[in-house]
């Protein structure tokens, strides 16, 4: 740790101290996320702990009052997430204290996170700038209308481990960094589809258990039609089940598929970055872009 950053924080009449997040029982972390209305199961927390690092703030009797994590993606880049402060600490400087710690320890100068409206001022004061809105769609899914027949030469199929290198290479320009370790972990816990034109990938999608049901993401494609093609089977598989999709789109064909499938916007967040190159790929001229996020923490 950086010795210039204090290891404790006085809050009212008690003292908070840092602890490595991996040293805390998952049940306590889950209790923290539940306290702010987040749906993470113990398995969802474990997934993040397996691929990320971070800290919690503990009070004098070991209760978790705040958390913050960072997830490395190649050299110099990270996403931040699970930035939670319990209601009783939200006005006492704990969030800034924790953010300063993980910004220092991550060693990354290119940072991306998804912020609630309440936290935007804090992150802006730390040098992050707003870029895009994230729309959190969720609800009981309705079976979507059948897709039109694929163009000649296109194949939609379930992906297997042999497709992983292709997925990683296709994803990197859209995500803005190499997240191969994270895609590997997601691949292991997800149902995945890919759209190919002969040997060339055109789109891919993943679906996994999360929170109250399942989440579709990431979805990466070169255009709306391809994104719809690889998302459609996930929605069809969970008709009458609880489904969630986090996306930067609130209009256009891809958003229309989500809306027509019974999912509605329940929350919005703002993607914030330290610098322009920490953003997502622009998706211009048919290059791949991220249509649905893996999660708020992973992007």
Q: What contacts 94, CB < 8 A, 6 or more positions away?
A: 9, 11, 16, 57, 65, 66, 85
| Span 13-41, average pLDDT | 90
| Span 210-228, average pLDDT | 97
CB 139 within 8 A of CB 243: yes
Other CB atoms within a 10 A radius of the CB of residue 106 amount to: 22
**Residue 233, H or E segment:** helix 224-237
Range name among 118-127, 200-209, 281-290 with the lowest pLDDT average: 281-290
For the segment 167-196, what is each residue's pLDDT rounded down to a tens digit? 999 999 999 999 999 999 999 999 999 999
Reading the block at residue 50, the tokens are 């397996």
Question: What pLDDT is stored for residue 63 in this prediction?
Answer: 85
Question: What pLDDT is stored for residue 148 in this prediction?
Answer: 86
Q: Which CATH architecture has domain 8-108?
A: 3-Layer(aba) Sandwich (3.40)
Question: What pLDDT is stored for residue 88 in this prediction?
Answer: 65
CB 100 within 8 A of CB 203: no
Q: What residue ranges do the domains of the chain occupy?
A: 8-108, 136-292
For the segment 226-249, what is each residue's pLDDT rounded down to a tens digit? 999 999 999 999 999 999 999 999
Does residue 9 register a pLDDT over 80?
no
Question: What pLDDT is stored for residue 108 in this prediction?
Answer: 85
Q: What is the mean pLDDT of the chain?
A: 91
Contacts 24+ apart (CB under 8 A), 286-290: 286/222, 286/223, 287/173, 287/174, 287/222, 288/170, 288/171, 288/173, 288/174, 288/203, 288/220, 288/221, 288/222, 289/174, 289/220, 289/221, 289/222, 290/174, 290/175, 290/218, 290/219, 290/220, 290/248
**Residue 16 — pLDDT band, cuts 50, 70, 90?**
confident
Can 8-108 and 136-292 be said to share one CATH topology? yes
- For domain 136-292, give the fold: Aminopeptidase (3.40.630)
């Amino acid at each position: 740790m950086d010795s210039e950053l204090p290891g404790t924080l006085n809050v009212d009449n008690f003292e908070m101290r840092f602890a490595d997040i991996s040293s805390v029982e998952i049940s306590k972390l889950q209790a923290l996320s539940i306290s702010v209305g987040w749906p993470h199961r113990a398995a969802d927390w474990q997934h993040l702990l397996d691929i990320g690092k971070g800290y919690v703030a503990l009070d004098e009797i070991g209760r978790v009052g705040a958390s913050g994590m960072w997830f490395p993606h190649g050299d110099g880049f990270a996403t931040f997430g699970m930035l939670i402060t319990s209601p009783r600490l939200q006005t006492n400087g704990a969030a800034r204290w924790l953010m300063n710690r993980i910004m220092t320890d991550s060693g990354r100068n290119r940072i991306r996170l998804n912020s609630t409206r309440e936290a935007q001022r804090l992150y802006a004061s730390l040098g992050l700038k707003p870029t895009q809105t994230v729309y959190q769609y969720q609800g009981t899914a309705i079976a979507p209308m059948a897709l039109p027949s694929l163009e000649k030469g296109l194949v939609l199929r379930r992906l297997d481990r042999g497709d992983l290198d292709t997925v990683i290479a296709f994803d990197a320009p859209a995500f803005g960094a190499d997240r191969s370790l994270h895609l590997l972990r997601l691949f292991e816990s997800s149902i995945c589809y890919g759209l190919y034109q002969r040997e060339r990938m055109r789109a891919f999608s993943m679906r996994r258990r999360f929170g109250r049901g399942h989440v579709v993401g990431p979805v990466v494609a070169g255009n709306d039609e391809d994104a719809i093609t690889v998302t459609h089977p996930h929605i069809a598989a969970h008709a009458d089940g609880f489904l969630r999709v986090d996306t930067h789109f609130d209009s256009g064909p891809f958003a229309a598929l989500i809306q027509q499938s019974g999912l509605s916007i329940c929350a919005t967040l703002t993607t914030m970055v330290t610098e322009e190159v920490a953003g997502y790929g622009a998706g211009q001229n048919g290059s791949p872009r991220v249509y649905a996020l893996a999660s708020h923490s992973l992007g």
